[in-house]
Structures are given as structure tokens and as C-alpha cells.
Structure 1
Amino acid sequence: MIIKPQSKIKDYQSGLYLVSTPLGNLDDITLRAIETLKKSDFILCEDTRVSKILMNKYEIKSDLISNHKFNEKKNISKIINFLKSGKIISIISDAGTPSISDPGEILINTCIDENIAIFPIPGPSAVSTAISISGFSDKFLFYGFFPEKKNEISNELKRLSEFNHSLVFFVSFKKINKIIPELKKYFSGRKIIFCREMTKLYEEFIRDNVDDLKPFEKEPKGECTVVISEKKDGKINSHKLSESDKVIINKMINKFSIREITQIISSNKNVPKKVIYDYCLKLKNEI
């Protein structure tokens, strides 16, 4: 089915508009997003100080209402009353598409229950932006933010590692070093990319093999979008030992036989036994 672009857009009507805003570079906003925000009676935003920067740039005069995870439930009744009285209300996040790991889900579900119209105004998304430059499979699972407790994070990563597709999640750099051991435990043989400050002045993409990950010596600030590559079909994902594998073998070489080491490593790593055996043999000959 071919859908032709509309040459005319229908007039704005009362309802809730989910408006995507730039990830960082304010030039990434769409013309329709600007028009929608200007037509809005109220704009719900996470942090009014952040949103005012965007509003000032595009001369948007609509009233802002603070709407974050700590007060969104309290705001529901007031917002629903505005919508039922015929107001046009937009909801935005500090960056990207609202309601995706940001406030909005509670209000959207209430609007559905109350039969209030909801309109998506598409635009920037950290998820699609990270996937697009990853080089990994475009069949992906988006998780969002992980729980707070370490054992819960470990359990979630273990469960997610069973999926064959790419995995996208958000994480604060304050937590990144805490989850690196878990990533190496459950996603061995895969590739990873850390996307930081996307579209901003200090945009950075850090690519690595999961097996070779090391803790960040200096934790970058802010949040990060992380993409892990898909699980490869078949048992053998790599024909080389990672540096971390070699460190483990070096520690075992004087305690176990080559055959035992080969069996142990091959049971946990998707590396051919011959590669492991040959490396062990080389170490033995050097001793």
C-alpha cells in the first residue's frame, strides 16, 4: 500500500499532542512541531527552564506547565478538565519523543479512558538515532532505564541476553561502571556502542567489543544511549580470543592442563576450541 503525503493539514482540534523535541541541537525541530506548540493553549514539560530555551528560540508564547515524574499524577485532574473544555495541550520532554522513558504514559492512558483525542507529532528520538548509526541489526528491543538495585539489573540483563535482536537502553554514566561486569557476563561475543551527547557540541560514539570493555577511568556526565549488537546465529561468534579471555587463561595456565582450560573457556565463550588450545600451547612453550 502506498500512502501519499498530505498536501493540506487539517485544522488543529482539541486534544493532547505528543510533540517530539530536539535531542540537543535546536535546529532539529520540525516545522509541524513549532506550529503545534504555537497553537497550544498549554505545554506540559519536564523542566520549564530547559523548555524555555527552545520556546525563546522559536518565539513560542504558549503557557508552560511543569509536568515531571514527581507531579504528573497530581496534574492529571487539572489537565483532563482543560482538555474536556476544548483546550489544545501539548506534552514534550526535555529531549526527544515524550512518554518514552519520560512522563506521559499516565496522562495518555487517562485520555484513552476518557475518549480524548491524542495526536503524535513525530520527530527526534534517541532510540532511532542510536540504532541508525550502530551498524547493528535494525530488529531491536528497547528497554529504557534499568531498575535501581544491582541484583534486579543483573536479572534483567540475564533475561534480555536471551533475545536474538539488538538491545537499546538508557543509562546514567554514574551507573555505567557498575553494569559493565554484568554486560561482559551476559553479552559475551557481541559488540556495543555508547552514544553520548548526541547532536550536541561534544557528541561522542564509543564502539567496542563487550568482552574487551573496561571501566571508564573518568565518568562522563549525563545520560547515555547504549546499543548492544544482535546475538549471532550458531555457536561460533568469534574466531579470536578477547584480551579478557587471554588474561583468564594466563591465570589458569599453571593450575590446569591445556585440555581442562580449553574445556572451561569453550563452555563459556563462543570461540573455537582449536584457537583456545593453540593459545594455551603457545603459553606453555614460553614458560
Structure 2
Amino acid sequence: MWILWAVTLFWAASFSLIGEFLAGRVDGYVAVFIRMALALALFLPLWRPARLPLLKQLALVGIGAIQIGIMYLFLYHAFLYLSVAEVLLFTIFTPLYVTLVDEVLFQRKAVHPRWWLAAALAVIGAAVIRFDQLSDDFITGFLLIQAANLCFAAGQVFYKRLPLGSSRQQLHVFALFFIGATLSAGLAMLAFANFDKLPTTTLQWGILVWLGLGASGVGYLAWNLASKKVNTAQLATMNNMLIPAGLVVNFAFWGNHVDWLRLAIGAAILASAVVVASKRGR
């Protein structure tokens, strides 16, 4: 669990960086491709394809394409319709998608009711923290975010259920994850990108390098490795911990208003969701 907590803190600034400095300035398709390509470059020197059967290699490519390649295409475009706060609000349903995908696709014989309770508590806690007045474009943004949430949730569950061996073995094949993400992002960029909106400033390139190597490269490796060490409910509830962390980062670095009472109440509900998810059944 501590790895999921660490990655959550690691990712906390990503929403604000995208919303404040990239959205509307750098084409979303271009930004996603650059981010995925940088992460792929980080893992290519470690790639040992012979250590994984072909079918599992193809599955890992597909997981990467879904979990972050396609997911980021939806997410970046949502920022054109929503504020950072609204994007954070609409991510609250991800825990439910994680639980739903795991149950429906993997036909679990005995899904613990507390797992659904934990996911529901995570949604409620995040809503308490982040519910606010919505903009006129919220329907389009909402649908884009839900598509992103579903891709991210499905990718997490697929990776968790795919047998890949030890953490060391996963490190040697993780380039496949970003091959899938880079291919999907690259095809979308060639088809739809506006190449008049390329990154031009040192700040924009610096943010993309951080998002590519740090938040995506190191972050997704750590998150997916940790996903195999926790149960589905713990994984689901941790998806919403980014909301209070993101709000604190917004306040600390950009001085954005934070309703501390709502943050405290919502964080307490989120913490109770983690406790419920972590509790072992008899």
C-alpha cells in the first residue's frame, strides 16, 4: 500500500501542470505522444522480450494502449471543457469502475460486499471534497472524463490479473506497456493533431519531460507493480486519494482556494474507505 500512497503524492501536481500550462497551448495529441515516447525511452534499455511469451507480450502492449495511451487522449481533451477542479471531481467514479470491471470480466465467485462499500465510500468522500459549481460545457467534459476513467480502471485490473512474474521480471518487460501507449497516441496524433500547437517554451518542454519520465515512466511502473500486491478494493479506493493530494498541491504552489472543512471531512471518508478495503474477511 505504501507504494500507492507514494505514487499518489508523486502524481499530485500532474493535473494542475496540464491544466495550467499545457491545455489549450500544446495540442493534446502531441502532448500525449511526447509523454508516452519519453516514458518508452526510459524502459527500452531494460527490455528483455525473450522473458515473456508472445501472447503475454501482446496483452501487455494492449494494456498500455488502453490504460494510458487512450486514457490520456480523453483526459487532455477534457481540460478544454473543464477546469482542473472539475476534472478532479469527475474522476471520483474510477473506484466503482475498477470494482465493476474486475467483477464482470473476471467472474469472481465471491465478491466481498465490503469492496463495493469501500468503492462507494471513496466516491462519496471525493465528492464531498471536490463538488462545486459546474461550467456550461460540463456534459462534454464529463463524458470525456468517464471514458478516461474507464480506460484507466480497465488497464489497472487487466495488469493486476496478467501473470508477469516477479517485480524484476516486470521491469524487464515494462517497455511493452509503453510501446502500446506510444503506438495508440502516435496514430491518434498523425490522424487528428494540430501541429500548429507544438511545445515551444522551455517551461512546456520541462513539464512534458517531467510528465513523461517521472509521472508516467516511474509512476506507472510503481503503481502497476503495487496493484499486484493489494486487493481490488484497496486498488479502487486509492484511485481517489489523488483528489485531496491534488488540492493541497494547488493550494501550496498556486494559492488556489481550498475549503479545509470539506477537505477534512472528505479525507476522513476516504480514509475509512481504505480501512474497509484493507480489512481482512474471516
User: TM-score per shorter chain, which class?
Assistant: under 0.3
Higher-helix-fraction structure: 2
TM-score, reference length from structure 2: 0.22
TM-score, reference length from structure 1: 0.21
In terms of Rg, which structure is larger? 1
